């Protein structure tokens, strides 16, 4: 079965640079979520989209923005990167249920 696809899998950026993470949900899933997992921490909710509209917002810095496109893929844009942004970023998708299916994650390292 098709799963959630995230790209890139690994990304290294310098401080103050920008990064764009991409997420392709499971086909026909209408909801996308973004989570951030720091070292030794649990995943923290950032933002979600339902039918291409922002649905909920968590602890997402103002330097970050995201959107969901007409083909349902989503992009997380991160600007003015800081060392503390180094983390695993997970995308998840769902179809009208509470059960979210996660992608493999993008490991962002800011140096």
Partner 1 sequence: DQQVKQNSPSLSVQEGRISILNCDYTNSMFDYFLWYKKYPAEGPTFLISISSIKDKNEDGRFTVFLNKSAKHLSLHIVPSQPGDSAVYFCAASVTGTASKLTFGTGTRLQVTL
Judged by CB under 8 A, the residue of 24, 43, 78, 108 near partner 1 is: 43
Q: How far apart are CA 90 and CA 21, in angstroms?
A: 10
The Cα-based distances of 78 to 1, 19, 26, 63, 67 in angstroms read 31, 5, 23, 6, 12
40/84 with CB nearer partner 1? 40
The Cα-based distances of 60 to 2, 36, 107 in angstroms read 28, 9, 17
State the nearest-atom distance from the C-beta of 46 to partner 1, in Å: 9
Length of the chain counted residue by residue: 111
Question: Does the footprint of partner 1 cover residue 33 (CB under 8 A)?
Answer: yes
Here's the x/- map for partner 1, 2-21, by CB under 8 A: it reads as: --x-x---------------
Residues that bind partner 1 (CB under 8 A): 4, 6, 31, 33, 35, 41-45, 48-50, 55-56, 58, 90, 92, 94, 98-105, 107
């Amino acid at each position: 079965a098709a799963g959630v696809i995230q790209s890139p899998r690994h990304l290294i950026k310098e401080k103050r640079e920008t990064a764009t993470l991409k997420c392709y949900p499971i086909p026909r899933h209408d909801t996308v979520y973004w989570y951030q997992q720091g070292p030794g921490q649990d995943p923290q909710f950032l933002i979600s989209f339902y039918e291409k509209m922002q649905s909920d917002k968590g602890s997402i810095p103002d330097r970050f923005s995201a959107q969901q496109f007409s083909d349902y893929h989503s992009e997380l844009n991160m600007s003015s990167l800081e060392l503390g942004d180094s983390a695993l970023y997970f995308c998840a998708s769902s179809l009208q249920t509470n059960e979210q299916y996660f992608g493999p994650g993008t490991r962002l390292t800011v140096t």
